[in-house]
Amino acid sequence: MEEIKNVIEIKNVSKDYGDFKLDSISFNVPEGSVCGFIGQNGAGKTTTIKAVLDAINIDEGEIFVFGQNIKGNSAKLREDIGVVFDEMGFHEFMTGKDINIMMKNIYKNWDDNVFFDYLKKFSLPSKKPCGDFSRGMRMKLQIAVALSHKAKLLIMDEPTSGLDPIVRNEMVQIFREYVIEEDHSILLSSHITSDLEKISDEIVFINGGKIVLAGNKDEMLEKHGLLKCKKSELDSISQSLIVYAEEESYGVSALVNDRRACEKLYPGMVIEPASLEDIMFFYVNRK
Amino acid sequence: MKGLIIKDLMCLRKQRITFLYIVAVVLIVSVMFVLSAKFGNIAVSNRYMIAENDLSEIDVKNLSSLALVLFMMLPIAMVGDIGTLFTADGKAGFANVSAVLPISIEKRVLAKFVAFISFLGIGVGADIVISLILSLLTDMLSFVDFVEIIITGASVLFIYCSLFCLYMFIFGYGKESVAGGVSLLTIMLALMVANFEKLKVIYISCFIDSAQVIDVNPINVIMNVIKDKCISALIVAVVVGVLSYVLSVFLAKRKRGIV
């Protein structure tokens, strides 16, 4: 059996800001996969991404990208990483042409033709200052930049937040096309779990600076279930199966961490499939 | 790194009209000043000052030269405004972009320094052209004098820019005016310490005992410093530049996300 290669390996990484701590987190992103990084705002997604890119100093732990420790190698490794943030970061007076001139003098593998093809594909004018672009256009511009230097790994921090569903779907389609190449991988952070359900292979769920869940998305969705019952019935269910229960107008809704076992043990109960949003909601409220 | 320098030069592109306007104005005003000092009203007033105010011809020449020097410094000062670079980067949130580019922190900091050196180079180039024209029109200052003045001016601005960069790495984006103010204060303090004896003499002659030191004319002192200390200024500028770069890299590595 072929060994699974990881494009990102995070081992016991900690970063203490005083009011927030990334607490000894560990997870991997396998090569060729789309890893959805979910968590509410302020959970530590951006801090983790910055740590992976060596844009912040970490207090403890190790991070490997493409099998190499980022310490001392980050500048070289970033040649193969495309990054998209929730905010554009380019100067508002810059046009697509200006960005092309700048980037081709930065990335060794920058391809002008690919960049202008993407601008055309995304209907982005190359002579218009990007300050005049809408939020969706700005995101597309960032994606065009990220995809124009033959990056093998895309790291995106909330790229779909604040966008309308049409543009979000377009973006998901772009990401799908990108991962057709088998050595292309994506780490995609978002709190919009519906986008991640469409595209992710793996899910890493972070909450309060700690990794709550990490693993295959389908297995995660298969494993969890949403149990609907009366409050009196809830007491009869093994507490080890329940992640968290919430009272609703008609009774109780509880997230169970082993749907199949629950169905076997309590055949009369209604257990619906849980979405990523449900999983996130119940795990966050568990505290 | 080249890409970052190009981006910074693009930031300056917005100011190119203003820069050309300033160069044209400086050239016209300087030529008018030189012609007037030679044949016109300024020449008449110079003669009047020599006759009435016990001023020597050298004093008057230095006074006129100082006016010319001030005009000459404008193009360099204009492009030396590197605060606009940091303001533009801060406003755009460009630090997020540059932090994930395949460029080391050392090179990112170096790009900033090279960018402002390039800006100064543009100002110096414009000044040299103006000097060449003016040196052909006047005997107030020779071309060599002009070049010495430009070197001194550019060195002072280089020191200012180096300190500005360093202070920006200390204070962070949005604190451009603080960094500018502290840089100016540092330079003034250093100049005062370095010229303490001369300043003491000037102070005594001006405010305590004017009879004690009659030879000291502040304008002559300033002109002599500007012309005679150009090599010293250049050396100090290089030293301050190197030190600022090393400290800026150290700070950028520790703080991250500021360049």
Q: Is residue A90 part of a domain?
A: yes
Domain hosting A272: range is: 224-286
Q: Is A94 on the interface with B (CB under 8 A)?
A: yes
Q: Is residue A28 part of a domain?
A: yes
The residue from A187, A203, A220 where one domain ends is A220
* H or E stretch at A262: helix A259-265
The residue from A168, A196, A220 where one domain ends is A220
Q: Is residue A1 part of a domain?
A: no
For residues A106 and A84, state if they share a domain: yes
CA dihedral (B17, A89, A87, A64) in degrees, to 10, reads 180
Q: Is A152 on the interface with B (CB under 8 A)?
A: no
Percent share of chain B, pLDDT over 70: 89
For residues A243 and A163, state if they share a domain: no
- Nearest CA-CA partner of B182 in B196, B165, B199: B165
For residues A229 and A184, state if they share a domain: no
For residues A113 and A179, state if they share a domain: yes
Calculate the alpha carbon distances from A18 to A212, B73, B232 in Å: 21, 48, 47
> Comparing A157-171, A198-212, B56-70, which segment has the lowest mean pLDDT?
B56-70
Q: Is residue A253 part of a domain?
A: yes
Answer for the pair B65, B141: CB distance below 8 angstroms, yes or no: yes
Q: Which amino acid is at B90?
A: G
Which residues of chain B lie closer than 8 angstroms to A148, CB-CB?
A: none
Name residue, tokens 């960032």: A142
Q: Is A98 on the interface with B (CB under 8 A)?
A: yes
Of B94, B104, B254, the CB nearest to A91: B94
- Counting the structural domains of chain A, the total is 2
Contact A57 B254 (CB under 8 A): yes
Which residues of chain A lie closer than 8 angstroms to B258, CB-CB?
A: none
Contact B96 A87 (CB under 8 A): yes
Q: Indicate the pLDDT class of residue A125, thresholds 50, 70 and 90.
A: very high
Q: Is residue A19 part of a domain?
A: yes
To the nearest whole Å, the CA of B100 is away from the closest chain A CA by 6
What are the structure tokens assigned to B229, written together?
């200390």
Query: Which 3 state secondary structure label does DSSP give B210?
Result: coil
From CA B176, how far away is CA B184, in angstroms rounded? 12
Q: Indicate the pLDDT class of residue A4, thresholds 50, 70 and 90.
A: low
Q: Please give the pLDDT value at position A287.
A: 61
For residues A207 and A257, state if they share a domain: no
Residue A134 CB partners (closer than 8 Å, separation 6+) = none
To the nearest whole Å, the CA of B112 is away from the closest chain A CA by 14
Q: Is the pLDDT of residue B203 over 80?
A: no
To the nearest whole Å, the CA of B237 is away from the closest chain A CA by 29
The residue from A197, A220, A243 where one domain ends is A220
Compare B215 and A35 and report the one with higher pLDDT.
A35
Q: Which candidate in A102, A143, A154 is best for mutational testing of the B interface (most B CBs within 10 A)?
A: A102
Q: Please give the pLDDT value at position B242.
A: 95
Burial class (CB in 10 A: 0-12, 13-18, 19+), A210: middle
For residues A179 and A105, state if they share a domain: yes
φ and ψ at residue A30, rounded to 5 degrees: -70, 150
For residues A170 and A252, state if they share a domain: no
Answer for the pair A47, A192: CB distance below 8 angstroms, yes or no: no
pLDDT digits (tens, 9 = 90+) for A228-271: 888 777 788 888 888 888 888 778 888 988 888 888 888 888 88
- Helix ranges (DSSP H) in chain B: 2-13, 16-39, 41-52, 57-79, 83-92, 94-98, 105-137, 143-171, 176-194, 196-203, 218-228, 230-255
φ and ψ at residue A254, rounded to 5 degrees: -130, 140
CA A143 to chain centroid, in Å, comes to 15
Strands A202-207 and A34-38: parallel
Contact A105 B6 (CB under 8 A): yes
From CA B102, how far away is CA B27, in angstroms rounded? 43
For residues A17 and A151, state if they share a domain: yes
Of B93, B103, B254, the CB nearest to A89: B93
Q: Please give the pLDDT value at position B220.
A: 67
Q: Is residue A42 part of a domain?
A: yes
Q: Is the pLDDT of residue A223 over 80?
A: yes
Closest chain B residue to A91, measured at CA: B92
* H or E stretch at A244: strand A242-248
- Nearest CA-CA partner of A14 in A55, A47, A43: A47
Q: Is residue A277 part of a domain?
A: yes
What are the structure tokens assigned to A163, written together?
């966008």
Q: What ipTM is given for this predicted complex? A: 0.80
Of A55, A57, A101, the CB nearest to B100: A55
Which residues of chain B lie closer than 8 angstroms to A50, CB-CB?
A: 99, 257
Mean pLDDT across chain B: 81
Chain B residues with CB under 8 Å of a chain A CB are 1-4, 6-7, 10-11, 13-14, 88-89, 91-94, 96-97, 99-104, 107, 254, 256-257
Contact A94 B102 (CB under 8 A): no
Q: Which candidate in B1, B5, B7, B107 is best for mutational testing of the A interface (most A CBs within 10 A)?
A: B7
Please work out, in degrees rounded to the nearest 5, the angle formed at the alpha carbon of residue A43 by the alpha carbons of A40 and A47: 130
Closest chain A residue to B88, measured at CA: A91
From CA A162, how far away is CA A86, in angstroms rounded? 9
CATH value at residue A70: 3.40.50.300
For residues A36 and A155, state if they share a domain: yes
pLDDT digits (tens, 9 = 90+) for A42-81: 889 999 999 999 988 899 999 999 999 998 888 999 999 9
Which residues of chain B lie closer than 8 angstroms to A87, CB-CB?
A: 93, 96
Of B11, B91, B102, the CB nearest to A107: B102
> Comparing A222-226, B56-60, B214-218, which segment has the lowest mean pLDDT?
B214-218
Q: Please give the pLDDT value at position A66.
A: 92
Q: Which amino acid is at A43?
A: A
- Edge-to-edge strand list for the sheet holding A81-84: A81-84, A153-157, A185-190, A34-38, A202-207, A210-216
What are the structure tokens assigned to A141, written together?
């511009």
For residues A203 and A229, state if they share a domain: no
Contact B10 A102 (CB under 8 A): yes
Closest chain B residue to A71, measured at CA: B104
To the nearest whole Å, the CA of B92 is away from the closest chain A CA by 5
Of B3, B92, B107, the CB nearest to A103: B3
For residues A69 and A21, state if they share a domain: yes
From CA B7, how far away is CA B115, in angstroms rounded? 9
Query: Across the A/B interface, how many CB contacts are shorter than 8 Å?
Result: 79
Q: Is residue A196 part of a domain?
A: yes
Q: Which candidate in B94, B101, B107, B108 is best for mutational testing of the A interface (most A CBs within 10 A)?
A: B101
What are the structure tokens assigned to A230, written together?
């009366």
From CA A254, how far away is CA B151, in angstroms rounded? 76
For residues A215 and A234, state if they share a domain: no
